[in-house]
Amino acid sequence: MSALPSIVPTAPAQIPRQTESLAASLRGEGWRLRTGPFTYRLRSDVPAVLDGLRSLYAGYPGVEPGGFIDFEVEVRRSGGWRRFVRSQARFRFDGTESFEPLPLAQGYAMLEWAMNWCVSTHVNHHLLIHSAVVERGGRALILPAPPGSGKSTLCAALVNRGWRLLSDEIAVVPLAGEGLLPVVRPVSLKNRSIELIAAFEPAARFSRPAHGTSKGTVAHMAAPAAHVARMDEPAPAAWIVFPRWREGAPVSLVPRSRAETLLALARNSFNASTLGEAGFDRMARLVEACECHDFEYSRLDDAMAVFERLAGQP
């Protein structure tokens, strides 16, 4: 893993007065946050978590007092001797610890991962597909892909070039209705993608990078404020594009059959099998409404041009 250049800005947040209450809520009753259809109550005494939330979640809506909370999430500093030696952050969901602790400095990355985990394992009332989703001109582009395919990098670049962020991780497809639901959250970037996007868009803001995670160095890019403000605006899907980054590859966009697209979506879905027939039908309806492609690229600028053309088509 290459050392990160100083080009990555480290969390100078423009958060004014909310800071005080964020810190106090996190340590006390919990900070109530809504990202699209999902509500969280977050509690933490880990500095990296406060830091990350401060820099990346300033403009997010809260949950009105007495409102429903979908997920109770805690990231806590380990007690006992772990407080002093190799400090750790522990994730608790529904009040119970279900995973191995991570080093304290990875606390914010852990929180982001945990918030995704809550949705991907505990939401079975929408169809969920592991993919990034962006929108332009009222039409959504779904970028499903396994890790390592450059999906999040592509998503981060598109979001900085006129596409609206719906999600970098999970396509939320309501079983009834047409539009995909935004779950606008910071975009997770790994290793070289961090410097790549920082260079691609100098105005982008990032969380402090967490080094040495199971995926290497991880940093999160803030969702643009205008996109956060539109988190309740669904968008119907128009394209399903399977991205693949390959060193030195010329850019190519080739059609993919709907049948193969359906199979690949099923593989990338968190809960299609749980939803059974309803999930299959919804997935089929989604594929029928979309143009489907395979996409390979090595340079972001080339990729942007291809998607620009795609968006320009009637």
Partner 1 sequence: MSGDLLTPLWRAGPMPSFSLAQWSLLISQARQSRLLARLAVRLQDRGEMAAVPEAPRRHLQGALAAAERQRHQVSWELDRLRVALAGLEGPVVLLKGGAYAAAGLPPARGRLFGDLDFMVPRAQLPQVEASLLAGGWAHEPLDPYDDRYYRRWMHELPPFKHVWRHTWLDVHHTITPPTSRYAVDAGALFAAALPVPGLPWVSMLSPCDMVLHGATHLMLDGELPHGLRDLLDLDDLLRHFSAAHPGFWPALAGRAAELGLGPLLMLALRQLARITGTAVPPADAPVFVRLGQPGALAEALLSRVVRPVHPSCDDALTRAARQHWYLRAHLLRMPPAQLAGHLARKAWMRARTRLDRPAETAPQAPE
Please state, in angstroms and rounded to a whole number, the distance separating the CA atoms of residues 27 and 36. Answer: 24
In the bound state with partner 1, the residue whose beta carbon lies nearer, of 267 and 309, is 267
Please state, in angstroms and rounded to a whole number, the distance separating the CA atoms of residues 235 and 157. Answer: 19
Which stretches within the chain are classed as H helix? 18-27, 47-56, 107-122, 151-159, 192-200, 225-229, 258-268, 272-288, 300-312
In the bound state with partner 1, the residue whose beta carbon lies nearer, of 102 and 204, is 102
Using alpha carbons, select from 48, 42, 44 the residue that is nearest to residue 71: 42
**Number of residues near partner 1 (by CB under 8 A):** 22
Binding of partner 1 at residue 212 (CB under 8 A)?
A: no
In the bound state with partner 1, the residue whose beta carbon lies nearer, of 94 and 281, is 94
Please state, in angstroms and rounded to a whole number, the distance separating the CA atoms of residues 23 and 13. Answer: 14
Tokens of 5: 């250049």
Window of 3-11, 46-54, 231-239, 267-275 that interacts with partner 1 by CB under 8 A: 267-275
In the bound state with partner 1, the residue whose beta carbon lies nearer, of 13 and 109, is 109
- The amino acid at 2: S
Binding of partner 1 at residue 125 (CB under 8 A)?
A: yes
Window of 18-26, 93-101, 158-166, 233-241 that interacts with partner 1 by CB under 8 A: 93-101
12, 16, 66, 314: which one contacts partner 1 (CB under 8 A)? 66
Window of 95-103, 176-184, 231-239, 244-252 that interacts with partner 1 by CB under 8 A: 95-103
Binding of partner 1 at residue 79 (CB under 8 A)?
A: no
Binding of partner 1 at residue 309 (CB under 8 A)?
A: no
Q: Is the dihedral of CA 229, 231, 235, 241 positive or negative?
A: positive
Least distance in angstroms from the C-beta of 279 to partner 1: 9
Binding of partner 1 at residue 277 (CB under 8 A)?
A: no
Binding of partner 1 at residue 68 (CB under 8 A)?
A: yes
Please state, in angstroms and rounded to a whole number, the distance separating the CA atoms of residues 187 and 210. Answer: 14
Report the first-to-last Cα separation within the chain, whole angstroms.
Answer: 43
- 23-38 b/e with 16+ CB inside 10 Å = b? bebbeeebbbbbbbbb
In the bound state with partner 1, the residue whose beta carbon lies nearer, of 70 and 308, is 70
Least distance in angstroms from the C-beta of 18 to partner 1: 22
- The amino acid at 48: A
9, 19, 47, 70: which one contacts partner 1 (CB under 8 A)? 70
84, 100, 247, 314: which one contacts partner 1 (CB under 8 A)? 100
3, 12, 79, 96: which one contacts partner 1 (CB under 8 A)? 96
Binding of partner 1 at residue 97 (CB under 8 A)?
A: no
- The amino acid at 128: L
In the bound state with partner 1, the residue whose beta carbon lies nearer, of 211 and 256, is 211
Tell me if 183 sits within 8 A of 165, measured CB to CB: no
Using alpha carbons, select from 28, 30, 82, 243 the residue that is nearest to residue 90: 82
Binding of partner 1 at residue 86 (CB under 8 A)?
A: yes
- Name residues contacting partner 1, limited to 131-190 (CB under 8 A): none
Query: In whole angstroms, how large is the CA radius of gyration of the chain?
Result: 19
Residues near partner 1 (CB under 8 A) are 41, 66-70, 72, 86, 94-96, 100-101, 122-125, 273-276, 278
